[in-house]
Structure 1
């Protein structure tokens, strides 16, 4: 005699069936399917990861503290590619329905978004074209103020960069920092005033810089060996699409630490890679990436989050020793739209979002 399943269990079965394309499970197989849903998807298996990949190619250069999030797009038979329009915010009549709800738990949200990546393809950059990246960031820095310790100052930064089609080599980059600097709180403003400290002034650096002024030059280390921190099209294509094997790549890249636990460092490494490599991910690689993150213990859904541009997203985070790192995913398209680092007391330490499009010349923005 069969037992009637509870509503939550029925919902879980529906999710499992959508991911695995299996017949309705019986009670004996349900437990096995739950475990399998976190490890396998519709994509066929890819070759196993074979250690360090050495390629003669330039890499995406990431300025410290800035996540690079690139808009991928559906293919349309070879037409020139542009970035997807920003999505998010409250649903409007006729707008696409979010794939996950506001209360969907972290792992279920990742599995669902991973199952809907077939329409996302890497940006197709033809020879002679460039990827223009416009990154906005917000950071909190401490300014020493004598006996008062530190005053926390919030400032913004903006990066404009053009990458060439040959492996996304950096051709030009403009970095503006300390924009709109302001005290984090009234108490921080008091500390600055009491100790005669002023707010930092905006500063701009460029690469390459023709006038030779070292203070205005932005050093861009290239070429670099491709990897998690410096992904290229070829390197990303070489990654395994088995979630457990891919997670092992991120664990190795995270390395040891005496400050944070291994799972937190692995999550931060994987989430940072997801932001940097968003435009380079094939559907199979994106699905495996989200599934790999779902395997990590301690991940949580962070409700009500948006990226720095105000786009509503699905935030998945993990805490460790007073900090939480978050990745923000578009609930309609499944792509990455931002990252955040937050002190668990509530202070946003770093926040970023980026939009990118394919352009025909350096200096063009559309």
Structure 2
């Protein structure tokens, strides 16, 4: 049944007539409404869920903006491949398919059946000195993200989450956010992987100088991604756009993934209909970003790990939303009296 034959009023009525006071399931009701609306049915299903994690290296990391060296990026990818990271644990626990994508890590992984080779280059340039990538590389990222999601869609998947890994990518994401939303960089920057106060001050100074260096760059999303983005951020943006276009539920992880979403939203505002924001992270700019796109996150657990972990943690709540809509009795079917008029 398509959305043209199911109205929002019908979806809301089915939710309201469940055996509960109006609104008593809180945010789960909003989630059920969104899922049913996206799928255009009163009986939604979550089919073959996937989480796609994009990894890439960042030239800006050489400026000392992270508490960890850039070698951690390939080391963590190898950890993903070995099944030892948090995202591996959570996706196994919840029966979610995990796809690992090398969008541009500065390392040669060789052939590995557990890693999708989508490498655009061996890391971006440092945008403290020059644009992070070329316009052609940015376009390649967007197109590759599109291609990867189409392949997942062919498996019957209708719900896909997005995560990332890349030392230095909070700096990249903060710069993209600052330019796209015209918010001062100091309000967008957080401690990332765990900077102390002095390191954070240095990070802000580096990014302030970089934004000034590129002040004449156009504010359109693709130009901003080209100048300040990471290969994983741009590829995730393309993937999100295609997932929404195909009618899939788009699960957005934390700060980095939300910046990819922001770029996608600036390109195609209709993506908001499909987007589920899984958590509000501990990164300073994330709350401001969510407010700017009028989004409410499902969870607030002070996470700042990335990897798509927030998507995996929130997924059972999507299952609960679908389950109550499909399986919970209505007042009529259960023979339960409704609230009296005037009360």
With the length of structure 1 as denominator, give the TM-score of the two structures: 0.22
Q: State which structure, 1 or 2, has the greater radius of gyration over its C-alpha atoms.
A: 1
With the length of structure 2 as denominator, give the TM-score of the two structures: 0.23
- Greater strand content: 1
